[in-house]
Amino acid sequence: MTQKWDIVIVGGGLAGYIAANYLSKTNLSILIVEKGKQVGGRARTNKMDQQYLNLGPHALYKKGKAKSILEELGINLHGKSPKLSGILMEDNMEYAAPLAPFELFTTSLLNGKERIEWVSVLLKLMNTDPEKLAELTLQQWVKQTAHSKKVESLLYILGRLATYCHAPEMVSAKVIVANMKNAMGGVLYLDGGWQTIIDQLHNKASLSGVEVKSPTLVKQMKPAQQDHLKLVLSNDEEILAKYVICTTGPHELNEMLVETEQNHFFSKITPVRGATLDVALTKLPNPKRLFAMGITDPLYYSVHSPYARLSDDPKNAVLHVFKYHHPNDTHDRAIVKNELEEFLDQLQPGWQQYVITRRFIPNIIVNQRLPLIGDEQKLQRSKTEIPGLYIAGDWASPHSILADGAVSSGKQAAAEIILNEERKDSANYERRLPTI
Query: What mask of x and - would describe binding to ligand FAD in positions 134 to 173, judged by CB under 6 A?
Result: ----------------------------------------
Name the DSSP letter for residue 82: P
Interface characters, 404-423, with ligand FAD (x: CB under 6 A):
--x-----------------
- 202 contributes a contact to ligand FAD by CB under 6 A: no
The span from the CA of 162 to the CA of 270, in Å, is 18
The answer to whether 375 contacts ligand FAD (rule: CB under 6 A) is: no
Q: Which stretch binds ligand FAD (CB under 6 A): 38-46, 78-86, 282-290, 373-381?
A: 38-46
Nearest CA-CA partner of 172 in 361, 397, 373, 374 = 373
370 part of the interface to ligand FAD, by CB under 6 A: no
Among 9, 20, 59, 165, binds ligand FAD (CB under 6 A): 59
Rg (CA), the chain: 23
Among 162, 190, 218, 284, binds ligand FAD (CB under 6 A): 218
State which residue, 224 or 364, has the beta carbon closest to ligand FAD: 364
Query: Smallest distance, Å, CB 129 to ligand FAD?
Result: 22
Residue 119: exposed, middle, or buried by beta-carbon count in 10 A (0-12, 13-18, 19+)?
middle
- Among residues 100 and 233, whose Cβ is nearest to ligand FAD? 233
- Which C-beta is closer to ligand FAD: that of 218 or that of 417? 218
Q: What is the DSSP letter of 295?
A: S
Residue 427 to residue 404: CA distance in whole angstroms: 34
What angle separates helix 138-145 from helix 173-184, to the nearest 10 degrees? 60
Q: Are 401 and 367 in contact (CB under 8 A)?
A: yes
Select 114 or 252, whichever has its Cβ closest to ligand FAD: 252
Please say whether the beta carbons of 118 and 151 come within 8 A.
yes
**Least gap, CB of 256 to ligand FAD (angstroms):** 6
- By CB atoms closer than 10 A (0-12, 13-18, 19+), residue 9 is buried
By C-beta, is 362 or 393 nearer to ligand FAD? 393
261-270: long-range contacts, CB 8 A cutoff, minimum separation 24: 261/385, 261/386, 263/384, 263/385, 265/378, 269/368, 269/369, 269/370, 269/395, 270/327, 270/369, 270/370
Number of residues assigned to the chain: 436
Nearest distance from C-beta of residue 45 to ligand FAD, angstroms: 11
Stretch that binds ligand FAD, among 8-16, 109-117, 300-308, 411-419 (CB under 6 A): 8-16
Interface with ligand FAD in residues 239-268 (CB under 6 A): 247-248, 252
What is the 8-class DSSP label of residue 426? H
Shortest CB 313 distance to ligand FAD, Å: 24
Determine if 41 is a binding residue for ligand FAD (CB under 6 A): yes
Complex with ligand FAD: residue 351 or 395, whichever CB lies closer: 395
Identify the residue among 35, 166, 304, 358 touching ligand FAD (CB under 6 A).
35
Part in contact with ligand FAD (CB under 6 A); list of ranges 7-15, 88-96, 291-299, 305-313? 7-15
336/386 Cα distance (integer angstroms): 41
> For residues 236 and 430, which CB has a smaller minimum distance to ligand FAD in the complex?
236
Q: Which is nearer to ligand FAD, 217 or 224 (CB)?
A: 217
What is residue 42's DSSP assignment? G
Torsion sign across C-alpha atoms 95, 303, 76, 180: positive
Q: How many residues bind ligand FAD (CB under 6 A)?
A: 34
Amino acid at 353: Q
Where does this chain bind ligand FAD (CB under 6 A)? 10-16, 33-36, 41-43, 55-59, 217-218, 247-248, 252, 274, 276, 364, 366-367, 393-394, 402-403, 406
